[in-house]
């Protein structure tokens, strides 16, 4: 799946580990939990918007921690890549540097739900 390849490339850039090696380390393939998540998104009616897909995928990386380190950064960058590719770029101002990290930390620690995170991303993209 294209999204898995994109995720591996983001992780490769963040970690400095080749994507192929990360694939073997994490088992991110069509039979993985991430592959199942993507298949499930394709079957929902109505289908989620690209903003929702980006947020769900970013949240999955942050929560499931498929990589040895930097999962929050990888999830954030992956979400940004998906949004950018769909013409919905994630704009970040200087003050956002103080807002975004705590949200990702709360997501990672279970302080907010995936649904709350998706709502937050949807609102930020809509008001950017």
CATH dotted code for 2-126 = 1.20.120
pTM comes to 0.89
Long-range contacts of 56-63 (CB under 8 A, 24+ apart): 56/114, 56/118, 57/3, 57/7, 57/82, 58/82, 58/117, 58/121, 59/107, 59/114, 59/117, 59/118, 60/34, 61/7, 62/104, 62/107, 62/108, 63/107, 63/108, 63/114
Nearest CA to 72 out of 81, 56, 61, 80 is that of 61
* CB of 10 closer than 8 Å to CB of 77: yes
pLDDT in the model for residue 51: 95
Q: What tens digit of pLDDT does each residue of 89-105 get?
A: 787 777 777 888 999 99
pLDDT band at residue 81 using 50, 70 and 90 as cut-offs: very high
């Amino acid at each position: 799946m294209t999204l898995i390849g994109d995720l591996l490339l983001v992780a490769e850039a963040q970690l400095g580990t080749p994507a192929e090696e990360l694939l073997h380390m994490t088992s991110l393939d069509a039979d993985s939990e991430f592959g199942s998540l993507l298949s499930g998104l394709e079957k929902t009616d109505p289908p989620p918007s690209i903003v929702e897909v980006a947020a769900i995928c970013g949240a999955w990386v942050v929560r499931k921690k498929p990589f040895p380190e930097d999962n929050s950064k990888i999830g954030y960058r992956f979400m940004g890549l998906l949004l950018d590719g769909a013409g919905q770029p994630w704009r970040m101002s200087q003050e956002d540097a103080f807002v975004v990290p705590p949200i990702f930390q709360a997501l990672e620690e279970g302080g907010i739900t995936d649904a709350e995170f998706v709502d937050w991303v949807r609102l930020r993209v809509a008001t950017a």
